[in-house]
Structure 1
Amino acid sequence: MQRLLMIAGTALLALTVQASAEGDPAKGEKVFKKCAACHAVGPEAKNKVGPELNGIVGRAWGAVDGYKYSANLLELADGKVWDEETLDVYLTKPKDLIPKGKMAFAGLKKEDDRANVIAYLNQYNEDGSSK
């Protein structure tokens, strides 16, 4: 019985670690408030100072219709996709990935904040509907 409880506890811990590594969308929604002055997400999202972010996870760089991207982003875009790893690098310090990009935000220093924002954004399809 004790061994069974130990195995169950280990499995629960593994699931907890995996969930935290993937991020918490509810916490990400709170962190996203730092981004909302320039970006929108959801069914009514429109381009602002920055592009709307519906479907950003898995989307090609520079692919939002009607948004005028920086020349630097477009030069670097060649076949690149905003996957979770690339978003994490970008959200850490945008100028490290796109040095002459338009994004003036300094970045999110906390790994958990970045993971949570990515999890929040990953909930949205390109049309703003939930996955």
Structure 2
Amino acid sequence: MRSAFVGALLGATLAIPAAAQEAGDPAAGESEFRKCRACHMIQDGSGADIVKGGATGPNLWNIVGSPIAHMEGYNYGDGLLAAKAANPDLVWTEEELIAYVTDPTAWVREKSGDDSVRSKMTFKLARNQADLAAYLTTVSPDTPAE
């Protein structure tokens, strides 16, 4: 009985991505965000630049705790819109961000239930996903308390 429990526990632990098993380091995530600046900026609600960056992707200010595909006027891709249609109450959490930046197309396919959709974001973050998500939480002042 004990070995079955240990096996089940080990199997459940291995099923969770390594990045999601530990809390991220916001300072390391701030450094990691350099990879994202080509497409994303972080500009607060008053228009002040926190991190100057591109406008190809949406502004990531206050992203954690916000509904997916919520920014007015931004032209979201079909994959993210399909994920939103299938999950209208889905919000960006650290866990969802970790999964999304690891493989955006796999994430929109899973969330939408449609294997034909793709994400406009082609970049995949191979490591330090939890750090990036922890950093984005620090620039999300409206994040609900857990």
TM-score in terms of structure 1 length: 0.71
Please point out which of 124, 127, 131 is paired with 2:139.
124
1:22 is matched with 23
2:91 is matched with 81
CA contact (8 A) 1:72 1:101 kept: yes
Rounded Cα–Cα distance in structure 2 between residues aligned with 1:102 and 1:66: 16
**Cα root mean square deviation, aligned:** 2.2
CA contact (8 A) 1:42 1:124 kept: no
Rounded Cα–Cα distance in structure 2 between residues aligned with 1:125 and 1:84: 11
- Using the aligned pairs only, state the percent identity: 38
Rounded Cα–Cα distance in structure 2 between residues aligned with 1:71 and 1:21: 32
Rounded Cα–Cα distance in structure 1 between residues aligned with 2:61 and 2:119: 20
Q: How does 1:47-62 map to 2 (within 5 A)?
A: 48-62=55-69
What number of residue pairs does the alignment pair up? 105
Rounded Cα–Cα distance in structure 1 between residues aligned with 2:61 and 2:141: 5
Greater gyration radius: 1
TM-score in terms of structure 2 length: 0.64
Rounded Cα–Cα distance in structure 1 between residues aligned with 2:54 and 2:35: 16
Rounded Cα–Cα distance in structure 2 between residues aligned with 1:47 and 1:76: 24
| Letter of the structure 2 residue corresponding to residue 72 of structure 1 | G
For structure 2, list consecutive stretches of 5 or more residues without a partner in the other structure: 1-20, 109-116
Give the superposition deviation at 1:69: 0.4
CA contact (8 A) 1:61 1:82 kept: yes
Rounded Cα–Cα distance in structure 2 between residues aligned with 1:42 and 1:117: 17
